[in-house]
Amino acid sequence: MPEAVDAADTDRLIRALPCWQGTVRITPLDGGMTNRNFRVDDGRAPCVVRLGQDLPAHGIVRWHEQAVARAAHAAGVSPQVVHAGPGVLVSRFIDGQTLEAQQVRDPARRDAIVALLRRCHHDVPRQLRGP
């Protein structure tokens, strides 16, 4: 996927992915420092499409991202990967919000965050497959 892709090309690229059924509705999502993110609804469970290229100078290799996303799902800490290809990662959408600093300071919430991070560090690597 070339870096400079206009909105019409992006729309065509997303609609052409083989994982959709029915009418596709695409909504851009904010954020994404190194990729572009879209919520896609096709009448089933909503998904997130991430479009981005490798950025080796920054240690970003999308194949690694795909492998870790699959491992994180297998470990129970991330949504299912629905489709992956060069420069494209499609996963199930999880509705949520970004935590504010005061929410993170709440002891119960902080304990839950620490437990999740522990699972990420211990359980996800056990699920990685490949060379």
Q: Do residues 41 and 24 touch, judged by C-beta distance below 8 A?
A: yes
Query: Where residue 16 falls among pLDDT bands split at 50, 70, 90?
Result: very high
- Tokens linked to 25: 């509705």
pLDDT tens per residue across span 22-65: 999 999 999 888 999 999 999 999 999 999 999 999 999 999 99
Name residue 63's beta-bridge partners: none
- For the chain, the C-alpha Rg in angstroms (whole number) is 16
Q: How many CB atoms lie within 10 A of CB 86?
A: 10
Q: What are the structural domain ranges in the chain?
A: 7-127
Question: What's the CATH fold of domain 7-127?
Answer: Phosphorylase Kinase; domain 1 (3.30.200)
Task: Supply the pTM of this predicted model.
Answer: 0.88
pLDDT tens per residue across span 74-113: 999 999 999 999 999 999 999 999 999 999 999 999 999 9
